[in-house]
Structure 1
Amino acid sequence: MAEVEMDPELALGLFEEGATLVLLGVPEGTELGIDYNTWQVGPRFRGVKMIPPGLHFLHYSASNRPDRGGEVGPRTGVFLNLKPRDIRLARWDGAEEDLDFSNSQEEEVERVRAGLRDLDRFLGPYPYGTLRKWVSLTDRMTEEGVRSLQPLSGKICAFAQVLPELALRHTQDRLEQNLPSYDSECHSMQEGLERLPKMKQRPGTEMRFSEIPKQNYPEGATPAQITRCSMDLSYALQCVIDRYYKQDPQQILGELQFAFVSFLIGNVYESFEHWQKLVNLLCRSEEAMQRHLSLYLNLISVLYHQLGEIPPDFFVDIVSKDNFLTSTLQEFFSFAAGPDVDATLRKRAEKFKSHLTKKFRWDFEPDPEECAPVVVELPEVVTLD
C-alpha cells in the first residue's frame, strides 16, 4: 500500500482518533481493500490505520501463487462499524483462505493497542481521497440495517456457497432416489445434467433482502384496481414499507445502498438484481410520491451518486440490458412532473433528468408510438344459419 501525503497535524490527529484494522498473516499477493480502494498485499503488510469512524467495507480475495501469475479468487467482504480509536484484530485462516475475527481476545487487543506505535510502520493509511465518494454511497446505511440485511455468517461472498440437498455418496444412495449410478453410461447432455446433485445455498450465507410482493394488488381487487396497481406500484411499495420499515420508511434507501455497494464492490450479482427490483418499485410508484415526499427527495440524491459510479467497462452493459434504467426512470420523471406532485420534488426531478441526459445521452422522452392507443383485433364471428 502506497503512503499518502497528508498534513502532519491532520495525520497525527487521525492516528490518535482513527480506528485501526490489524490483519495478521495475510499472504503476500492477496487482493485486499477497504471501501472504494483495493491493493495487493506486500510482505510487510499488517493492516490499515487512521480509518475514520463509521461504517466500512473490508474486502479481500485470496491469490493462488501470485509469484507465478496465479489467479485471484472470488471476493469476500465484511461490513465493520468502527468507533473512534477502535482496534479490530483478525488473523488469516490459511485452510479457509479467509480472515477470522472471531478469536480476538480483549487482552490481546489491548496488547496490540499498547504496541501500536511499534506496529505503525507496517500499517497502510486509509486513503482519504475517496472518503467523500464512499460516504455518498452509504450515508443512508446504518449498523442495524446492515446487520438485518447481510448473511447470518456476517460474510458477503461474491459466489454463493452451496451444498447438495441430499448426500448421495454411493450408488445405493442414488438408486434409492431413483437416480442412475455415476458409472452408468450417459447418452445425452440433458441426461448428464439430470445426474448432477441438486444444490442449495449453505445455511447462514444467504442475503436477507426485503421480500417484494409477487402480487401487486390486494386480495379481492376488482379488475380496475388490478390494472391501476400494475401501472402504479404504490400498493406493493407500501406493503414492503409496512412489513420492514414502518417506523422509518426512509430506511428502504439504506437497503438500496446496501444492495448497490454489495454488487459494485462486493461483486455479488444477486445484489444487483435486488437493487434493480427496488429501483423499479420506487420509481414506478406515483401515489407514493405524494405520501412519502422526503423519501423521494432523498431517493434522487441516492440515485444521483449511484449512477455517477457506474464503471464504463462492465456495469454499464448490465444496466443497459433491456434498456432497464432509461425505461424505469422515464416513468419516474413522468410521474414526478404531475400537477399534484410537490414543487420541490418536481424541480429536483427535472434537474436530475437534465443531468442524466447530458452525462449519459439517455433519452427520456416517450416514444409517440408507445403512447398511441392499442388496436385490438377481435376474432371474426362466424354465425350459423
Structure 2
Amino acid sequence: MDQQLANQLFEKGAFLLFLEAPPHLEFGVDYHAWTIGPLFKGVKMIPPGLHFIYYSALSKEGAEGIRTGFFHFFESKEVLVREWNPHIEDLRDETELDPDQVERLRSNIRDFDRNMGPYPLDPPTFYERWKQLTNYITPGLVHRILPNNGKVSHLPEKGSDSLEPSQDTNNSSSSSSRPPETLDPATIKDQRLGKQIEKEQGMEFTPFVLRHSFPKGAVGQEVTRWSLDKSWLTRQLLNTVYHGDYKVLLGELQLAFVCLLMAQNFSGFNQWKQLVQLMCSCQQLVEEMPDLFYDFMDVLQCQLNECPEDFYRDILSENNFTTIVLKTLQRNIPLHNERLGKRFMKLKRFIIKKFDWEISDHEDDEEEEEGGENAPVIVDLEE
C-alpha cells in the first residue's frame, strides 16, 4: 500500500480493537486470515462498509475449533471494541464491557497502533472481490437475519475439522492473504446425511416452502401453474418481505452465501440453494422484471467464482442441482430478450471454463428435473 493511501485510511478508516485474545487464535477479516501472536491488538485502517470478522480457538490438544464470526458495517473512524472471554471462548461485545473503559480505549486508540495490523489491501483484488460479493447486503438485512449483533452461529456438529490451520506468526500478526478455498464439502455433507435440517440459533433467514408456491385456496390448473412457475411465490416474497425492492432479495442471497463460504454455516447453505432454485423457476416474472434476473445472474456468477472446485463438484452438482436449476432458468428466458439471453450465455461459458461442465441446450430429462422433495405439484383434473 502506498503512503498516501495509508495516510488516508488511517484518517478515515475504522479500527477493531481485539483485546485479551489468546496466542495462536485464528483471526480473520473478509478474505484474510491470521494466526495471531501475543502482541496482537486488532486491525486498523479498515475501509468503511460491511466486513466479516471471524475467529477460531484452539483446544487444549491443539485442534482448531469451528469458525465463528460476525458481520459489522464500519463507519468512517469508528472504533469497535471486542474482548476475548476465555470461559466461553468467544467475544464480549461492548454491552458487556465497562462503558467508561470503552470510551478511554477509543480516545487512546493511537496507543495501540504498533500492535494493530492494517487491513490488507495487497493484493487489492481481494477487497474488490469482497465488495462485489456483498454489494447488495444492507445493515437492515443483517440486523433482521442476524439479530444477535450480526453474529453467525456455527454448525452444531462437534469434532469436525472444518478448516485448515492458518500460517503461524511471530509477535503481532501475519496475514496469510488467502481466499476461502478451505471450504470443506465433507463438513457440509456430514450435516445433511440422514439428519433433519435444523436452523442454527440466532439466524432468521426468510422462511418459504418451494412446494407451496401457489396462493391459499388455489385449485386445479392454478395449483399446477404456480407449482411449475414460481413467479407467484417470488412476487409475494418481494411484496411482503423485501418491500418491493428485489435488491434486498439479492442481498439475502449474498448473505446466505457468505455465511456458507466464510463460516461453513448450514442454514446459509440451505437458504442459498432454496433462493437459487426459486429464482431459476420464475417464467412469468422473467418477462415482467428482466433486470432482477440479469442482476441475479451477476450475483450467481460471482458466487460460483468463489467456490472451490471440490465443493462445486461434491455439493453443488449433487443430484444434478446446478444442471437442473440452470436448465430451468435457460428455458424461462424469453427468446426475444436478447440482453438476458447474452447474459445467460456468459454465465454458461464461465461455468464451462471454471468447472469443465456443460449445460445442455436440449429440453430433455424432464422427468429427472421434476424429481426430488421440491418437485412441482401436478394436479390431476380427471374425475
Task: State TM-score, norm by structure 2.
Answer: 0.79
* Larger CA Rg, structure 1 vs 2: 1
Cα deviation code 1:224-281 (max 9, x no counterpart): 2222222211112112212201331221000000000001002101210110000000
Q: Pick from 351, 354, 358: which aligns with 2:353?
A: 358
Going from structure 1 to structure 2, the CA distance change for 1:313 and 1:335 (only over 3 Å counts) comes to same
Show the 5 A alignment for 1:1-385: 6-65=1-60, 70-101=62-93, 102-105=95-98, 107-128=100-121, 129=123, 130-152=126-148, 154-160=150-156, 205-213=201-209, 214-336=211-333, 338-340=334-336, 342-366=337-361, 369-370=364-365
Q: Secondary structure of 2:307's match? A: coil
The runs of at least 4 consecutive aligned structure 1 residues that moved more than 6 Å come to none
CA contact (8 A) 2:148 2:202 kept: yes
What is the one-letter code of the residue matched to 2:50? L
Q: Secondary structure of 2:53's match? A: strand
The 2-side partners of 1:159 and 1:369 are apart by 38
Going from structure 1 to structure 2, the CA distance change for 1:13 and 1:369 (only over 3 Å counts) comes to closer
What is the one-letter code of the residue matched to 1:22? L
Equivalences, count? 323
Going from structure 1 to structure 2, the CA distance change for 1:120 and 1:299 (only over 3 Å counts) comes to same
The 2-side partners of 1:297 and 1:63 are apart by 44
What is the one-letter code of the residue matched to 2:298? S
Please provide the CA RMSD for this pair: 2.3
CA contact (8 A) 2:9 2:45 kept: yes
For structure 1, list consecutive stretches of 5 or more residues without a partner in the other structure: 1-5, 163-199, 373-385
Deviates more, 1:93-102 or 1:354-363: 354-363
Pairwise CA distance, 1:155? 2.2
Pairwise CA distance, 1:113? 3.5
Pairwise CA distance, 1:315? 4.9
Q: Secondary structure of 2:365's match? A: helix
Q: Secondary structure of 1:250's match? A: helix
Pairwise CA distance, 1:318? 1.0
What is the one-letter code of the residue matched to 2:108? G
The 1-side partners of 2:130 and 2:364 are apart by 42
What is the one-letter code of the residue matched to 1:8? Q
The 2-side partners of 1:226 and 1:325 are apart by 25
What is the one-letter code of the residue matched to 1:94? P
The 1-side partners of 2:54 and 2:4 are apart by 30
Going from structure 1 to structure 2, the CA distance change for 1:148 and 1:34 (only over 3 Å counts) comes to same
For structure 2, list consecutive stretches of 5 or more residues without a partner in the other structure: 159-197, 368-383
Task: State TM-score, norm by structure 1.
Answer: 0.78
Cα deviation code 1:55-93 (max 9, x no counterpart): 11111111124xxx6111112111111011110111101
The 2-side partners of 1:153 and 1:138 are apart by 18
